[in-house]
Amino acid sequence: LAKPKTLSVSAIKTGTVIDHIAVGQALKIVRLLQFDRDERRVTIGLNLQSKSMGLKDLIKIEDVLLSEEQACHIAIFSPQATVNLIENFKIVRKFCVALPPAIYGVLSCANPRCITCTESIATLFQVEAGSERVWLRCHHCEHIFSLEGENTY
């Protein structure tokens, strides 16, 4: 039996490859970064073979070089992800994502009675790394929740 190819998505000329994403998190990251809302070409690989992780997800975004601030948002879903910036088919920069101390304006509070859910107030969460998951504490209602397995944004 032939082994499945480790990389089943084609190379890009210019753009960003987010690699080593924990399985099941790629779609959440694409939605969080709102790459599903514009006309950029985004390739998503789910459950790809990985030497270090067993299985992983991967995202390629053409013609976008991700900033470190955007990369911070990825860490909330997958702290071990790596970001590769590509120009002319070559990796020009590679960095790990870092958990931000706080995240502003991009996620929704899991508490339906939170003022940010009923009024148009930007959300703000303190980010706390637990041993197995990332916890978010709402600045407005103090509600603490994790994004694991939830679609709260």
Q: What angle do CA 133, 43, 1 make, to 5 degrees?
A: 90
- 137 is a contact residue toward Zn ion (CB under 5 A): no
Q: Which of 62, 143, 145, 153 binds Zn ion (CB under 5 A)?
A: 143
If one asks whether residue 114 binds Zn ion (CB under 5 A), the answer comes out as yes
Decide whether 66 or 114 has the Cβ nearer to Zn ion.
Answer: 114
- Residue appearing with tokens 């120009």: 87
Q: How many residues line the site for Zn ion (CB under 5 A)? A: 7
Would you count residue 109 as binding Zn ion (CB under 5 A)?
Answer: yes
DSSP E strands: which ranges in the chain? 15-21, 42-50, 54-62, 82-87, 90-96, 102-104, 124-129, 134-138, 144-146
* 68 or 142: CB nearest Zn ion: 142
CB of 140 to Zn ion, least distance (A): 5
- 105 neighbors 123 (Cβ within 8 angstroms): yes
Rounded Cα–Cα distance for residues 16 and 123 (Å): 27
Does 138 interact with Zn ion (rule: CB under 5 A)?
yes
Joined tokens for residue 120: 């148009």
Residue 21 sits in the site that holds Zn ion (CB under 5 A): no
Choose the binding region for Zn ion from 38-46, 64-72, 92-100, 107-115 (rule: CB under 5 A).
107-115
Site residues (CB under 5 A) for Zn ion?
109, 111, 114, 138, 140-141, 143
